[in-house]
């Protein structure tokens, strides 16, 4: 009997009877029957009003008993030898980088604690791309990158020069600081160092793999998604925020490995409590299989002696801050403060030296225990698995870093600690050589190299590795979107509906239709997409186990196991993570997919900006649709919902191509171009379109405007009369273009001003092109100078006025390329709820403000008298003392 509670028991005899009965059931009928009985007992206790524990945790010891551990195959001594070499090269690489330039930084203590966790994965579990199925996916913890590089180095995949240039990425000779697919496109699969994003992405990656498998798009076999993270990283909401999805969907293709070294970047994770127990309760409650790998095999003899459960009781009592102290302060301290709490425990270790007590290892450093945990994780069915592996941060670094609060900032070791590190791990480098920090690589024909290569051969090739290329898709031509190009013949629709119609063309296309995945965060009906429920079905891992109350209607809510739509609930981060998994499927599964995530534009880049940046790093391909966009267009929702800045945020991501179209034909041209670039030409870009919920008539596409739509602007119409001597250029985008069109007519009819009206589909793309032209001109001062596209279009013909439903900065981006006076109107300030007309007056972007701004520009240029501006202000009833919307 090993339960700790006997020590506090008021009736030990009765307790023993219950435990004996449970042991009998386990022995005679197995764990399933025991689980059933425990569930019944719990139910009866609950009915009787008995208080039950808030979370289910187990004693602070390994989940897998020694007798149940799967035996570790292979040569354990050879693996330790290889692991030690990897440790050394990782340390040498970071230290060399900081000797050359102390500003480069680098981290070594996270990998030192996790080396065994990764080594067992590389030697026995992580499958490469050379087999019958695609490779496993591993989300490596960002700070451990030196260890992964060090392994690739001795495999011959990286060179001395690359290691010498760790964190020197500019000239292309070095290797990136963290996992960055953009910088190392043949190597890293996922960017993860922005903590919390790796776990979140891993969950949705596993979710999407099940989705693809259920739809028959690809046989995912028994591929696994591994996510390695730290216990401190679990403080990030993104780390644990979606674990219920994994449990609910029974994602048994997903494995979390949490390196519980009990330290954050500055100190203990839960100094006053126990992070392992906390995580166990959270994951068990979310439906995960939890495997605790806390104590190494050197503890096993002590557990065998622990017939009264005292050792487990002591382990349960000790908080994480003390566990850290034991490793930091040595064997004598541990003897006194850990074992010394109870005389029986002190007696248990009386024959052990202080060094032997110090060497009582933790589970995450014991390859036997780690292998057994991983074997359980990969074979477990019906649940995702989390391995909670206890380690020591800075393991092997002695007084320089081991279990120190300063461990994370350690970038070098003092001479004594460096020599101790070398000796501990048996690296054949002399004292004289030590000062130069040489890398160590065994000879090509050495047993170490032969073993290393044999393990990877058995696991189907190199790892990590990223696929750059994929098949090109035959995408529909612009002719396929002729209904969107033809206009609405007087019928009023929104650009949101125009996009939904274009989406219908995509899903019905015989070539790409099955690859198109509409993704929603619970807003299909808002965007007019409910017709797709019945047409495509909503993916559910369980199908539809109920009859929806609207089943008699044409557009009823239909879930199915092979549904095409991903309806991710009120969860923008989760929906974006699904989009990202599909947007990188061309690389990770050799299966190009066309994800289309449609959402309230306010809740896009602002809410999930870190994931959007990861999408850029990951070379994602797909469509993001910011619906109900604009500061004044979603007029009834108020401050929290009105977007005037998503394009500015989108513009910060270099490979995000963003557009703010006004008319249906513009939407069609942009969507078709995105399909061509991303899926036929295989460019690593992704598209962001803002679409609006305001209804108006759409005209036929003017002839020859396609190129201008894609470049960012084209002349929509001109108001010209020879007798009018005054000229302005009017720019607009989105729904405010229509206000600009109206302003042009007022200027022409009431003030005798000619104008060209330009539809600006992308100020962001115009700026990028303009900056590129300016850079070329600077670097080629004696060559014929290039004109930006903006300059070519406007050609200095009168002052320029721009008005949009976004902040002034959005249109102001092109100011360097506009000759002469340039006035910009925009929606700076907080949004609010009112009618569209009131809001556009409040933000000073409607037709009347455009007219006044144009007249003001003409007055500034000396073309008209300032009194004309004053007359216009009075005519339109504008209040010169009106508060500035930016600050009111």
pLDDT in tens, 366-390: 999 999 999 999 999 999 999 999 9
pLDDT value, residue 412: 63
What's the angle, vertex CA 637, arms to CA 634 and CA 640, rounded to 5?
Answer: 105
Confidence of residue 410 (pLDDT cuts 50, 70, 90): low
Confidence of residue 185 (pLDDT cuts 50, 70, 90): very high
Find the radius of gyration of the CA atoms of the chain. 32
What does the buried/exposed string (b/e) look like for 65-87 if buried means 16 or more CB atoms within 10 Å of the residue's CB? eeeebeebebeeebbebbbbbbb
**Which of 74, 81, 209, 73 has its CA nearest to residue 137?**
209
Please give the share of the chain, as a percent, with pLDDT higher than 70. 97
pLDDT value, residue 408: 54
Confidence of residue 550 (pLDDT cuts 50, 70, 90): confident
Confidence of residue 499 (pLDDT cuts 50, 70, 90): very high
Q: What is the pLDDT of residues 276-299, one digit of tens each?
A: 999 999 999 999 999 999 999 999
Residue 505's contacts (CB-CB under 8 Å, 6 or more residues apart) are 476, 480, 481, 483, 484
Confidence of residue 450 (pLDDT cuts 50, 70, 90): very high
Tracing tokens 């195959």 back to the chain, one arrives at: 73
Given a contact cutoff of 8 angstroms between Cβ atoms, the answer to whether 311 and 348 are in contact is yes
The answer to whether residue 409 scores a pLDDT higher than 80 is: no
Confidence of residue 1 (pLDDT cuts 50, 70, 90): very low
**Which of 117, 171, 189 has its CA nearest to residue 147?**
117
If you average pLDDT over residues 815-836, what whole number do you get? Answer: 96
If you average pLDDT over residues 638-658, what whole number do you get? Answer: 95
DSSP annotation of 81 reads H
Q: What is the pLDDT of residues 468-483, one digit of tens each?
A: 999 999 999 999 999 9
Euclidean distance between CA atoms 177 and 170, whole angstroms: 12
The answer to whether residue 403 scores a pLDDT higher than 80 is: no
Euclidean distance between CA atoms 542 and 713, whole angstroms: 48
pLDDT value, residue 2: 40
pLDDT value, residue 405: 56
Euclidean distance between CA atoms 806 and 651, whole angstroms: 13
**Which of 642, 644, 640, 589 has its CA nearest to residue 221?**
589
The answer to whether residue 765 scores a pLDDT higher than 90 is: yes
Q: What are phi and psi of 802, to 5 degrees?
A: -125, 140
Given a contact cutoff of 8 angstroms between Cβ atoms, the answer to whether 851 and 743 are in contact is yes
Residue 771's contacts (CB-CB under 8 Å, 6 or more residues apart) are none
Confidence of residue 401 (pLDDT cuts 50, 70, 90): low
- Alpha helix stretches (DSSP H) within 308-436: 310-317, 320-329, 331-337, 343-348, 354-358, 367-379, 415-424, 431-434
**Which of 813, 805, 515, 503 has its CA nearest to residue 670?**
503
If you average pLDDT over residues 757-761, what whole number do you get? Answer: 98
Query: 591: which 2 tokens?
Result: 């299966």
pLDDT value, residue 407: 53
Torsion angle in degrees (nearest 10) through CA of 227, 228, 229, 234: 40
What's the angle, vertex CA 767, arms to CA 763 and CA 773, rounded to 5?
Answer: 145
The answer to whether residue 267 scores a pLDDT higher than 50 is: yes
pLDDT value, residue 18: 92
Euclidean distance between CA atoms 399 and 397, whole angstroms: 7
Q: What are phi and psi of 257, to 5 degrees?
A: -120, 110
Euclidean distance between CA atoms 231 and 622, whole angstroms: 33
If you average pLDDT over residues 397-404, what whole number do you get? Answer: 60
Q: What is the mean pLDDT of the chain?
A: 93
Query: 652: which 2 tokens?
Result: 């910060």
Residue 337 half-sphere exposure toward CB, CA atoms < 13 A: 17
pTM of the model: 0.94
pLDDT value, residue 103: 74
Confidence of residue 42 (pLDDT cuts 50, 70, 90): confident
Angle between helices 76-100 and 367-379 (to 10 degrees): 100
Q: What is the pLDDT of residues 534-545, one digit of tens each?
A: 899 999 999 999
The answer to whether residue 3 scores a pLDDT higher than 80 is: no
If you average pLDDT over residues 116-120, what whole number do you get? Answer: 98
pLDDT value, residue 105: 74
The answer to whether residue 528 scores a pLDDT higher than 90 is: no
pLDDT value, residue 6: 43
Confidence of residue 606 (pLDDT cuts 50, 70, 90): very high
Q: What is the pLDDT of residues 552-604, one digit of tens each?
A: 887 888 999 999 999 999 999 999 999 999 999 999 999 999 999 999 999 99
pLDDT value, residue 400: 56
If you average pLDDT over residues 164-191, what whole number do you get? Answer: 93
If you average pLDDT over residues 682-689, what whole number do you get? Answer: 98
The answer to whether residue 886 scores a pLDDT higher than 50 is: yes
Q: What one-character-per-residue DSSP string does 642-666 give?
A: -BS-HHHHHTTSTTEEEE---SHHH
Euclidean distance between CA atoms 800 and 730, whole angstroms: 6
Specify the long-range contacts of residues 45-52, CB closer than 8 Å, at least 24 apart. none
Given a contact cutoff of 8 angstroms between Cβ atoms, the answer to whether 602 and 564 are in contact is no
The answer to whether residue 4 scores a pLDDT higher than 50 is: no
């Amino acid at each position: 009997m090993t339960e700790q509670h006997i020590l506090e028991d008021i009736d030990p005899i009765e307790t023993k009877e219950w435990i004996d009965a449970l042991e009998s059931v386990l022995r005679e009928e197995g764990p399933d029957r025991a689980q059933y009985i425990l569930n019944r007992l719990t139910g009866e206790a609950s009915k009787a009003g008995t208080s039950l524990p808030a979370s289910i945790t187990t004693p602070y010891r390994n989940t897998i008993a020694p007798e149940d551990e799967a035996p570790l195959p292979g040569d354990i001594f050879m693996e330790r030898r290889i692991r030690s070499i990897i440790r050394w090269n990782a340390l040498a690489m970071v230290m060399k980088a900081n000797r050359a330039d102390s500003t480069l930084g680098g981290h070594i203590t996270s990998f030192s604690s996790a080396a065994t966790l990764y080594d067992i994965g590389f030697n026995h579990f992580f499958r490469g791309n050379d087999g019958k199925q695609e490779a496993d996916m591993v989300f490596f913890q960002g700070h451990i990158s030196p260890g992964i590089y060090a392994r690739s180095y001795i495999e011959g995949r990286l060179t001395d020069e690359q290691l010498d240039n760790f964190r020197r990425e500019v000239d292309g000779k070095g290797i990136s600081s963290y996992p960055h697919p953009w910088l190392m496109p043949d190597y890293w699969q996922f960017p993860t160092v922005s903590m919390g994003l790796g776990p979140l992405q891993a969950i949705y990656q596993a979710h999407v793999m099940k989705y693809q498998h259920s739809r028959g798009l690809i046989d995912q076999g028994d591929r696994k998604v591994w996510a390695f993270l730290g216990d401190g990283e679990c403080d990030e909401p993104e780390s644990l925020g979606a674990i219920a999805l994994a449990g609910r969907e029974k994602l048994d293709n997903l494995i979390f490995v949490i390196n519980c070294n009990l330290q954050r970047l500055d100190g203990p994770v839960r100094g006053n409590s126990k992070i392992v127990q906390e995580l166990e309760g959270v994951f068990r409650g979310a439906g995960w299989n939890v495997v605790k790998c806390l104590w190494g095999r050197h503890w096993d003899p002590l557990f065998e002696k622990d017939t009264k459960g005292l050792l487990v009781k002591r382990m349960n009592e000790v908080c994480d801050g003390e566990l850290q102290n034991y490793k930091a302060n040595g064997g004598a301290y541990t003897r006194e403060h850990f074992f010394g709490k109870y005389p029986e425990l002190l007696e248990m270790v009386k024959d052990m030296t202080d060094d032997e007590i110090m060497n009582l290892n933790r589970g995450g450093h014991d390859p036997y225990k780690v292998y057994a945990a991983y074997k359980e994780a990969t074979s477990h069915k019906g649940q995702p698995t989390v391995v909670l592996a206890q380690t020591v941060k800075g393991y092997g670094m002695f007084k320089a870093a081991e279990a120190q609060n300063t461990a994370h900032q350690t970038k070098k070791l003092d001479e004594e600690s460096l020599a101790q590190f070398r000796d501990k791990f048996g690296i054949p480098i002399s004292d004289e050589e030590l000062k130069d920090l040489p890398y160590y690589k065994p000879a090509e024909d050495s047993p170490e190299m032969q073993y290393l290569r044999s393990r990877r051969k058995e696991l189907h090739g190199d790892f990590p590795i990223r696929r750059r290329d994929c098949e090109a898709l035959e995408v529909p031509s612009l002719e396929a979107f002729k209904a969107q190009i033809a206009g609405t013949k007087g019928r009023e629709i929104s650009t949101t509906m125009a996009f939904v119609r274009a989406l219908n063309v995509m899903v019905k296309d015989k070539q790409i239709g099955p690859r198109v995945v509409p993704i929603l965060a619970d807003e299909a009906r808002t965007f007019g997409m409910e017709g797709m429920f019945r047409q495509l079905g909503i993916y559910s891992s369980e199908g539809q186990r109920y009859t929806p109350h609207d089943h008699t209607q044409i557009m009823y809510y239909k879930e199915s196991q092979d549904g095409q739509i991903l309806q991710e609930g009120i969860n923008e981060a989760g929906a974006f993570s699904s989009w990202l998994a599909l947007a990188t499927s061309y690389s990770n599964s050799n299966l190009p997919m066309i994800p289309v995530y449609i959402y309230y534009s306010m809740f896009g880049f602002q809410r999930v900006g870190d994931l959007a940046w990861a999408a850029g790093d990951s070379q994602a391909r797909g469509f993001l649709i910011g619906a109900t966009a604009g500061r004044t267009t979603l007029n009834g929702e108020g401050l929290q919902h009105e977007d005037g800045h998503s394009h500015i945020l989108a513009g910060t991501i270099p490979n995000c191509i963003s557009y703010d179209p006004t008319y249906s034909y513009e939407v069609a041209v942009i969507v078709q171009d995105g399909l061509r670039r991303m899926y036929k030409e295989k460019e690593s870009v992704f598209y962001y379109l803002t679409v609006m919920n305001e209804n108006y008539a759409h005209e036929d596409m003017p002839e020859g405007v396609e190129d201008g739509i894609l470049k960012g602007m084209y002349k929509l119409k001109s108001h010209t009369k020879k007798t009018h001597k005054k000229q302005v250029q009017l720019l607009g985008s989105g729904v405010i273009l229509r206000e600009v069109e109206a302003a042009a007519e007022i200027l022409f009819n009431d003030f005798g001003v000619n104008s060209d009206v330009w539809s600006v589909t992308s100020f962001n793309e115009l700026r990028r092109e303009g900056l590129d032209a300016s850079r070329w001109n600077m670097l080629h001062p004696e060559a014929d100078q290039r004109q930006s596209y903006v300059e070519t279009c406007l050609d200095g013909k009168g002052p320029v006025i721009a008005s949009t439903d976004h902040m002034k900065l959005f249109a102001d981006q092109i100011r360097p390329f506009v000759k002469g006076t340039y006035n910009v109107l925009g929606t700076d300030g907080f949004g609010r709820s009112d009618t569209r007309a009131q809001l556009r007056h409040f933000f000073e972007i409607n037709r009347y403000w455009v007219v006044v701004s144009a007249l003001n520009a003409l007055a500034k240029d000396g073309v008209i008298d300032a009194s004309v501006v004053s007359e216009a202000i009075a005519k339109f009833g504008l209040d010169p003392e009106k508060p500035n919307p930016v600050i009111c």
